[in-house]
């Protein structure tokens, strides 16, 4: 499908999701608020549409950043008291999500949009918070303190943190309660119930710092750049050749092969990992890549975070392949993303083999199909 054929449907999707003061709700019924990494992906979609609202949305997702630099993963613009008891605070949540804001700022800047200096300052502060203020795990990784912080909340990578007799919904609520001591500090630095060095999260922190370095100059030896490069070394240390993937620093379930972990390809490109993305015996699928490796016992292609294809993860794999010069892999993945988005009617996620839409429908981040179609000039 040509990009110009995709654009009208994507514009309609985004226009219908737009809310004041300037952000898209991922889905009006299921996700009627602002989410951090969703809005960063929205900024990319607005850019592909040639619409300056991407700059507005990026600014608004950073609008409630704390003095520490912490950026909350949710903002309740129209219902500031909603879930106050749950989070222990008004207006925002008390946890974060992968900091895709630097990549968004770079893409907007490269696209000719002027990103205000104050917004870039906020991007930098958000990365400094993660790289320089959060404590490290034994392996030198930045810990996430809740599955929601990974962006992949019901992933089988976290199964060892859950009693099988209890639902993930119950467990996630209990884990938020565990963060009470840190609620006024931005995201419960002390997390007795869940503290994991997620490879996927760490890779996105490191990569986004490299993206920031493309649009902002830093003096030699700046601690942010130094910390990012050290983190990349720690990520490389977590490669397990027997599994052909990177392993989290945490409980044993972190050894399960999932697509979010392949985000490490953005900072640690490896041929044997790239090959898996298009291998039907691993992650590869017509509407994929799969969210969980096909050979994992936990693989379920139609269950939330247990195996479906996700557009935002596909996008990240495409970026990794493209920047590593693996053009054919990038194009194959891009075509599968476009096929999945269009076949599923822009669903939240979909079955990797059939394209059947799953989750919320429509969901705004599926508009990433237009971004990759334009990037790679798909015909």
Which pLDDT band holds residue 208 (cuts at 50, 70, 90)? Answer: very high
Q: Hey, what are 293's tokens?
A: 């490796």
Q: With CA atoms as reference, report the closest residue to 314 among 364, 352, 270, 269.
A: 352
Q: With CA atoms as reference, report the closest residue to 343 among 327, 359, 356.
A: 356
- The total domain count for the chain is 1
Is the peptide bond preceding residue 362 cis, with omega within 30 degrees of 0? yes
> In this model, does residue 125 exceed pLDDT 90?
yes
Q: Hey, what are 93's tokens?
A: 């949540």
Which pLDDT band holds residue 67 (cuts at 50, 70, 90)? Answer: very high
Q: Please give the backbone phi and psi of residue 367, each rounded to the nearest 5 degrees, phi first.
A: -65, -10
Which pLDDT band holds residue 190 (cuts at 50, 70, 90)? Answer: low
More confident residue, 251 or 39: 39
326-347 pLDDT, tens digit per residue, is 999 999 999 999 999 999 999 9
Q: Could you give the CA distance from residue 276 to residue 352 in angstroms, rounded to a whole number? A: 15
Residues 6+ apart with CB under 8 A from 78: 19, 33
Q: Could you give the CA distance from residue 260 to residue 307 in angstroms, rounded to a whole number? A: 11
- Range scoring the smallest mean pLDDT among 70-84, 185-199, 276-290: 185-199
Contact 131, 209 (CB under 8 A): yes
Residue 164: what pLDDT? 85
Which pLDDT band holds residue 189 (cuts at 50, 70, 90)? Answer: low
> In this model, does residue 147 exceed pLDDT 80?
yes
Q: Write the DSSP assignment of 221-279 as a string of letters.
A: T-HHHHHHHHHHHHHHHTEETTTTEE--BSSGGGGS-BGGGGGGGGTS--HHHHHHHT-
> In this model, does residue 73 exceed pLDDT 50?
yes
Cα 228 to Cα 13, 131, 132, 210: the distances in Å are: 36, 7, 10, 8
Which pLDDT band holds residue 372 (cuts at 50, 70, 90)? Answer: very high
Q: Could you give the CA distance from residue 113 to residue 248 in angstroms, rounded to a whole number? A: 37
Instruction: Identify the H or E element spanning 216.
Output: none
What is the extent of the structural domain holding 176? 3-375
358 DSSP β-pair partners: 349
pTM: 0.97
284 DSSP 8-state letter:
-
Residue 309: what pLDDT? 98
Q: What is the mean pLDDT of residues 204-225?
A: 96
Here the CATH number for the domain that contains residue 226 is 1.50.10.10
Which pLDDT band holds residue 178 (cuts at 50, 70, 90)? Answer: confident
92 DSSP β-pair partners: 75
Cα 234 to Cα 230, 250, 374: the distances in Å are: 6, 14, 34
Q: Tell me if residue 27 falls in helix, strand or coil.
A: strand
Residue 188: what pLDDT? 45
Q: Write the DSSP assignment of 45-114 as a string of letters.
A: HHHHTT-THHHHHHHHHTTT--TTS---SEE-SS-TTTTHHHHTSSSB-S-----THHHHHHHHHHTT--
Residue 180: what pLDDT? 56
Q: What is the mean pLDDT of residues 126-133?
A: 96
């Amino acid at each position: 499908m040509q990009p110009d054929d995709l654009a009208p449907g994507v514009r309609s999707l985004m226009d219908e999701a737009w809310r004041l003061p300037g952000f898209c709700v991922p889905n009006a019924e299921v996700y009627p608020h602002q989410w951090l990494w969703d809005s960063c992906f929205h900024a990319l979609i607005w850019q592909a549409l040639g619409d300056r609202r991407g700059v507005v949305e990026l600014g608004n997702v950073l609008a409630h950043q704390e003095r520490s630099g912490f950026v909350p993963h949710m903002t309740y613009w129209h219902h500031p008291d909603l879930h106050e008891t749950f989070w222990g605070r008004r207006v925002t949540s008390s946890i974060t999500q992968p900091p895709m804001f630097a990549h968004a700022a770079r893409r907007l800047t490269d696209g000719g949009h002027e990103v205000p200096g104050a917004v870039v300052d906020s991007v930098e502060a958000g990365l400094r918070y993660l790289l320089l203020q959060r404590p490290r795990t034994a392996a030198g990784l930045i810990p996430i303190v809740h599955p929601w912080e990974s962006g992949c909340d019901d992933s089988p990578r976290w199964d060892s943190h859950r009693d099988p007799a209890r639902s993930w919904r119950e467990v996630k609520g209990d884990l938020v309660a565990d963060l009470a001591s840190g609620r006024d500090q931005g995201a419960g630095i002390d997390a007795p119930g869940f503290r994991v060095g997620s490879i996927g999260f760490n890779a996105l922190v490191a990569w986004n710092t490299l993206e920031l370095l493309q649009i902002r100059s830093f003096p030699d030896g700046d601690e942010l750049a130094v910390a990012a490069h050290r983190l990349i070394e720690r990520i490389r240390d977590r490669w397990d050749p027997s599994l052909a993937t990177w392993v989290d620093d945490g409980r044993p379930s972190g050894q399960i092969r999932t697509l979010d972990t392949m985000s490490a390809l953005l900072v640690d490109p490896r041929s044997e990992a790239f090959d898996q993305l298009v291998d039907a015996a691993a992650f590869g699928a017509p509407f994929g890549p799969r969210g969980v490796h096909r050979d994992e016992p936990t693989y379920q292609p139609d269950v939330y975070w247990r195996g479906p294809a996700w557009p935002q993860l596909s996008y990240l794999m495409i970026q990794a392949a493209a920047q590593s010069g693996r053009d054919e892999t990038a194009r194959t993945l891009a075509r599968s993303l476009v096929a999945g988005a269009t076949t599923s009617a822009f669903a939240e996620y979909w079955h990797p083999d059939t394209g059947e839409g799953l989750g919320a429908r429509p969901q705004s981040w599926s508009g990433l199909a237009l971004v990759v179609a334009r990037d790679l000039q798909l015909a």
